[in-house]
Amino acid sequence: MIEIRLHGRGGQGAVTASRIIATAAYEEGKYSQAIPMYGTERRGAPLTAFVRIDDVRVRERELVHNPEISIVLDPLIAKQQAVVNQLKPGGLVILNTAYPPEAVKIGGDFNVATVDATTIALETLGRPITNTAILGAFAKVTGLLKVESIEKAIKKFFPGRLGDMNIAAVKRSYDEVKGPIQAVVKEAPEQKVDIHVGGYGVLKDVSSWRVFTPEIDVDKCIGCKTCWIFCPETAIQWDEEKNKPWIRFEACKGCGLCANECPVNAIKMVRVEV
Amino acid sequence: MVGNKAAATAVKLAKVQVASAFPITPQTTITQYLSEMYAAGEWDFDFVNVEGELTSQVVVQAASRTGARTFTCTSGPGLLYMHHPMQTTGSSRLPVVMAVVHRGYKGMQPDHSDLMSQQWTGWGHQYVEHAQEILDSVLMAYKVAEDPRIRIPIAVGYDGYVLSYTAEPVEIPAQEEVDKWLPPNKAMPSVLPDEVDPSTFARGWGGGDPQMPWKVHHEAILKIEEVLKETMDSFEKTFGRRYGNGMIEEYMMEDAEVAILAMGTIAGTCKAAVDRMRKEGKKVGLIKLRSYIPFPVKDFREWAKKLDGIAVVDRSICPGKGGPVFAKLRDSLFDQEEKPKTLQFHAGLGGKEVRVHDFEMIGDKILKAAKGGKVEQVTWV
Amino acid sequence: MGELTITPGSACQGCGAALAARLAFKALGSNVIRHGIPCCPDSTTKTPRFSTVFEGGGAQLTGTSRGLKAIGREDVMAVGFYGDGGTYDIGFQGLSAAAERNENIMVITKDNEAYMNTGNQRSGATPKYARTSTNPVGPRSRGKPRPKKNIPFIFAAHYVPYVGTASVGFPEDLISKVNYMKTIKGFRMLIIQSPCPVGWRYDPAKTIEIARASVQSGIWPLYEIMDGKTFKLNYKPKELKPVTEYLTPQARFRHMTEEEVADIQETATASWENLLKADEMGRLII
Give residue limits of the domains in chain A.
2-182, 207-271
Cite the residue boundaries of each domain of chain B with CATH code 3.40.50.970.
Answer: 3-187+224-236
DSSP secondary structure of A175-233: HH-EEEEE-S----PPP----S--SSSB-S--GGG-SEEEEE-TTT-----HHHHH-TT
Residue C126 DSSP label: P
Neighbouring-strand partners of residue A46: A9
Record: contact C22-A234, CB cut-off 8 A: yes
Record: contact A40-B202, CB cut-off 8 A: no
Q: CA A162 to CA B256: how far, in whole Å?
A: 82
Residues A11-33 have pLDDT tens digits of 889 999 999 999 999 999 999 99
Residues of B in contact with C21 (CB under 8 A): none
| CB-defined contacts A:B, below 8 A | 20
| CATH code that applies to domain A207-271 | 3.30.70.20
Helix (H) or strand (E) holding C210: helix C207-216
Strands (E), chain C: 5-6, 32-36, 44-45, 49-51, 77-83, 106-111, 137-138, 141-142, 162-167, 188-193, 223-226, 230-233
Tell me the pLDDT of chain A averaged across its residues. Answer: 91
Query: How many CA atoms, within 13 angstroms, populate the side-chain half-sphere of residue C235?
Result: 23
Q: CA B314 to CA B293: how far, in whole Å?
A: 15
Helix (H) or strand (E) holding C173: helix C171-183
pLDDT > 60? residue A198: no
Q: Does domain B3-187+224-236 have CATH number 3.40.50.300?
A: no
Neighbouring-strand partners of residue A215: A268
**Residue A200 banded pLDDT, cuts 50, 70, 90:** low
Record: contact C8-A40, CB cut-off 8 A: no
Q: CA B363 to CA B355: how far, in whole Å?
A: 13
**pLDDT on residue B206:** 60
**How deeply is A267 buried, as exposed, middle or buried, from its count of CB atoms within 10 A (0-12, 13-18, 19+)?**
buried
Q: Rg of the Cα trace of chain C?
A: 18
Record: contact A199-B202, CB cut-off 8 A: no
Q: CA B33 to CA A220: how far, in whole Å?
A: 72
Q: Which stretches of chain C drop beneath a pLDDT of 70? A: 1, 286
Of A85, A76, A74, which is closest to residue A110 (Cα–Cα)? A85
CA distance A16 to chain C (A): 15
CATH number for A2-182 (one of 3.50.50.60, 3.40.710.10, 3.40.920.10, 3.40.190.10): it is 3.40.920.10
> SS3 sequence, chain B?
CEHHHHHHHHHHHCCCCEEEECCCCCCHHHHHHHHHHHHHCCCCCEEEECCCHHHHHHHHHHHHHHCCCEEEEECHHHHHHHHHHHHHHHHCCCCCEEEEEECCCCCCCCCCHHHHCCHHHCCEEEECCCHHHHHHHHHHHHHHHCCCCCCCCEEEEEECCCCCCCECCCCCCCHHHHHHHCCCCCCCCCCCCCCCCHHHCCCCCCCCCCCHHHHHHHHHHHCHHHHHHHHHHHHHHHHCCCCCCCCEEEECCCCCCEEEEECCHHHHHHHHHHHHHHHCCCCEEEEEECEEECCCHHHHHHHHHHCCEEEEEECCCECCCECHHHHHHHHHHCCCCCCCEEEEEECCHHHCCCCHHHHHHHHHHHHHHHCCCCCCCEEEC
Q: Which stretches of chain B drop beneath a pLDDT of 70? A: 203-207
CA distance B207 to chain A (A): 7
How far is residue B62 from each of residues B124, B314, C71, measured CA to CA in Å?
A: 19, 34, 13
**pLDDT on residue A37:** 82
**pLDDT on residue B209:** 84
Judged by DSSP in three states, C257 sits in: coil
Whether the Cβ atoms of residue A136 and residue A218 lie closer than 8 Å to each other: no
Q: Check CB contact of B48 with chain C, cutoff 8 Å.
A: yes
Record: contact C52-B63, CB cut-off 8 A: no
Cite the residue boundaries of each domain of chain B with CATH code 3.40.50.920.
Answer: 248-380
Closest residue of chain C to A231, computed from CA coordinates: C19
Q: CA B199 to CA B194: how far, in whole Å?
A: 13
Record: contact C60-B50, CB cut-off 8 A: no
Q: Check CB contact of C3 with chain A, cutoff 8 Å.
A: yes
Neighbouring-strand partners of residue C9: A202
- Residue-range definition of the domain harbouring residue C49: 5-281
Whether the Cβ atoms of residue B224 and residue B290 lie closer than 8 Å to each other: no
Record: contact B65-C59, CB cut-off 8 A: no
Of C54, C31, C40, C15, which is closest to residue C106 (Cα–Cα)? C31
| CB-defined contacts B:C, below 8 A | 137
Residue B127 phi/psi, 5° resolution?
-125, 130
Query: How many CA atoms, within 13 angstroms, populate the side-chain half-sphere of residue C1?
Result: 17
Cα angle value B159/B165/B169 (rounded, 5°): 100
Cα angle value B59/B63/B64 (rounded, 5°): 115
Closest residue of chain C to A237, computed from CA coordinates: C3
According to DSSP H, which parts of chain A are helical? 14-27, 117-124, 132-142, 147-157, 161-176, 226-230, 257-261
Record: contact A256-C205, CB cut-off 8 A: yes
Is C276 inside any structural domain? yes
C250: which residues sit within 8 A by CB, 6+ positions away? C200, C201, C202, C210
**pLDDT on residue A194:** 56
Record: contact B192-C46, CB cut-off 8 A: no
Q: Strand C162-167 relative to strand C223-226: parallel, antiparallel, unpaired?
A: antiparallel
| CB-defined contacts A:C, below 8 A | 99
B332: which residues sit within 8 A by CB, 6+ positions away? B295, B297, B300, B301
Q: CA A162 to CA A155: how far, in whole Å?
A: 9
Nearest to B201 among C46, C60, C63 (CB): C46
Residues of B in contact with C94 (CB under 8 A): 51-52, 54-55, 58
Q: Rg of the Cα trace of chain B?
A: 21
Of B234, B74, B221, B241, which is closest to residue B149 (Cα–Cα)? B221
Q: CA C115 to CA C121: how far, in whole Å?
A: 5
Whether the Cβ atoms of residue B191 and residue C48 lie closer than 8 Å to each other: yes
How far is residue B205 from each of residues A152, A200, C33, C55, measured CA to CA in Å?
A: 40, 5, 18, 20
Q: CA B347 to CA B358: how far, in whole Å?
A: 9
Is C286 inside any structural domain? no
The ipTM, to two decimals, is: 0.95
Classify residue B350 as left (phi > 0), alpha (psi -120 to 50) or beta: left
Neighbouring-strand partners of residue C231: C225
Nearest to C8 among A40, A200, A203 (CB): A203
| CATH number, domain containing residue C169 | 3.40.50.970
Count Cβ atoms below 10 Å from residue A169 Cβ, excluding itself. Answer: 25
Residue A13 DSSP label: -
Q: Check CB contact of C36 with chain A, cutoff 8 Å.
A: no
Q: CA C193 to CA C175: how far, in whole Å?
A: 14
**pLDDT on residue C72:** 96
Record: contact B67-C62, CB cut-off 8 A: no
Residues of B in contact with A199 (CB under 8 A): 204-207
Cα angle value B275/B278/B280 (rounded, 5°): 120
**pLDDT on residue A193:** 57
Report the Cα C210 to chain-centroid distance in Å: 15
Nearest to C53 among B44, B50, B85 (CB): B85
The class level of CATH for B248-380 reads: alpha beta
CA distance B352 to chain C (A): 36
Residue A206 phi/psi, 5° resolution?
-115, 20
Residues C159-204 have pLDDT tens digits of 999 999 999 999 999 999 999 999 999 999 999 999 999 999 999 9
**pLDDT on residue A41:** 58
Record: contact A199-B203, CB cut-off 8 A: no
